[in-house]
Chains A and B, each alone.
Chain A
Amino acid sequence: MKPADLDDLDRPWRTWASLIIGGMLAFSIVMGFVVIPVVQGYGAGIDPFTAICRAVGLVPGSPSTRQPTSAAKAEPTTQVAWSTQLLRTLSRPTDMGAVVAEGCVACHGQRGIASDPQNPNLAGQSAVAIYKQLHDYKTGSRANDIMTPIAQTLEENQIRAVSVHFAAANRRSLDPTTAEVVDEDIVRLVERGDPARALPACNSCHGFSAGGPIETPTLSHQNREYLARQLRAFRDSSRRNDIYTRMRSVSAKLTDREINRLAEFYATTLQY
C-alpha cells in the first residue's frame, strides 16, 4: 500500500477519536464549571456568576456552601514577623552591638554569661531568639519588671545589633565532672518525646539545627533556675509570647518533677 492510502485509511479513526476526546472535554467543562456549580449554588443561595468563579478557582470557596466569614479582632501573641530582610540583618555583626551590650553586662555578664543563675545567659543564644524576646519585652508581649523597661529604651536597630553581638559570644563552658546523669524518662522526653501525650521531643525544636520554628532558643548551657522558671511561666500562661502556644502546649503536659529534671538536664549535660 502507498502511504497516501494509509492516510486515507486512518482518517476516520483520527476524526472520531478527536471528536470523542473533544466532546468529553467540552462536556466536562460545561458540567464541572457551569452546570454543577450553578445548580449547587442555587441550592446554597449563591448567584450563578459567583458559583462559576468559585468552581474555576478565581474566587475562594466551594460553589455549594456559603463561604464562612470572620470578624476576628487580632490579638497577636507577638508582634514579630520574620521577613527575609530581618533575618539577613540578624546575621550581620555591627559596631553598635558591643556599645548597646554595655548596658546588659551587669546582669547578663561580661561576655553574656550571667553570674546570677536567675538571669539567662545570652552568650551563644541564637540572634533570632534574642531579637524576638527583646522585641516582645518592648511591645509588652512578654512582661518582666526588669527587662520590659530596659527593652523599651532600645531602638529597633539597637535590638538587632545587640542580638547579633551576644549570639557571636562563646557559650558557657561546662565542667564534665558536674554533668548530671539524668533519668532515662527525661532523656526520652528530650530525644523522643511522648506520643501518648502528643508531646514532641524537646530536641525536635531545641536540638542543634533541628529545623523547628526558627525563633526557638538554645537551651543547653543555659541556667537551670532560669529554665525551670520559664517552663513554669509557660505552664501557667504567665508567659504567653510563644507563637501558636508552641511552648505553652508543651509545658502544660509536664509534671513538676519533669520540669526540674529537664532544666537540670539542659543546664548540665554536655551533649547538646
Chain B
Amino acid sequence: MAVSEEAILRSELRWTIVVTGTITVIMVAILYAGIVHHINPPSNIETVDPKTLHLTGEFTEENLGTSIDAGGQITARMVATQFAFQPQCILLPANKRVTLRFASPDVIHGILVTGTNVNTMIVPGYVSQVHTVFTRTGDLLMPCHEYCGLGHSQMWATVRVVPEAEFKPDGSGRALCDAR
C-alpha cells in the first residue's frame, strides 16, 4: 500500500501542531503560576550540617524566631524536627517582604502556609529559604506536609501575621508570638 509523501507530511504537520499546542498550554500555565501567583521552584542551594545544627550558629534554639537585622530585613528562622516546629509560632508583619529560613536536624519535613504561596520541602543538610509577602493578617496554619514519622499528623505551627503597625520588635530586633 503506497501512501503518498504529501499525505505523510500533512499528518506529521497536524501532529506537530497538536503537540506544540499542548506544550504551549502547559508552559503558559507554569508561567502564569510563576509570574502571577509567585509560585516558583526553590532557588536556594545552601548546605548545613544536620548533626551539629543544634550546636552552632544560626539554628541554635536561642536564635530561632523572627528577627530584623540592621538593614531592616525581616527573617524568620525555624527548625522542623520530629514531631514539632521550633518555635511553634512565628510573628510576622503583613505587606512587607519577609524571608523564611528552615532547617531539619533529622528527616525530611515539608511546610506550606495555608492560603499563601509558601510551600517548600525541608531536607536535612540544606537550608530551605522562601521570600514572600503576606497580605492576609491573622493566624495562618502551617502543617508539616511530608510524612516524617508516627507523630507527623500532630506536627503543625502557626504563622501569626499582624498589621505592620502592630509589628514591634524588641530592642535586639527580635519579635516573638507570646511577647505581644
Interface residues of A (CB under 8 A from B): 1, 9, 54-55, 57, 60-66, 68-70, 72-79, 81-83, 193-195, 198-201, 203-205, 207, 210-213, 243-246, 249-250
Contact = CB atoms under 8 A, between A and B. Distances in A.
Closest 5 A-B residue pairs measured CB to CB?
A200-B151, A204-B151, A60-B46, A204-B150, A72-B63
Nearest to A45: B71
Interface string B21-42: 0000000000000000000000
Given A68-B75, A193-B151, A60 B45 contact: yes
Contacts of B75: 68, 70
A63 B45 CA distance: 12
A75 B43 contact: no
B6 to A, nearest CB: 11
A83 B60 contact: no
B106 A213 contact: yes
Contacts, number: 131
B5 A243 contact: no
B79 A212 contact: no
A246 B105 CA distance: 12
B84 interface: yes
Contacts of B51: 81-83
Given A72-B63, A200-B150, A245-B61, 16 more contacts: A54-B43, A55-B43, A60-B46, A62-B44, A62-B129, A65-B99, A69-B69, A70-B58, A193-B153, A198-B154, A200-B155, A204-B149, A211-B149, A212-B149, A249-B86, A250-B84
Chain B interface size band reads 35 or more
A244 B99 contact: no
A242 to B, nearest CB: 10
Given A70-B57, A74-B55, A60 B151 contact: no
A81 B60 CA distance: 13
B74 to A, nearest CB: 9
Given A65-B99, A70-B57, A244-B105, A249 B154 contact: no
Interface string B137-162: 00000000000011101111100000
B123 interface: no
A76 B60 contact: yes
Contacts of B69: 68-69
Contacts of B150: 200-201, 203-205, 207, 210-212
Contact of B83 (A55, A61, A204): A204
Taking each of A60, A69, A205, A249, which has the highest tally of chain B beta carbons within 10 Å of its own beta carbon?
A60
B141 to A, nearest CB: 10
B115 to A, nearest CB: 19
Contacts of A54: 43
B14 interface: no
Taking each of B44, B129, B154, B155, which has the highest tally of chain A beta carbons within 10 Å of its own beta carbon?
B154
Contacts of B131: 62, 64-65
A79 B52 CA distance: 9
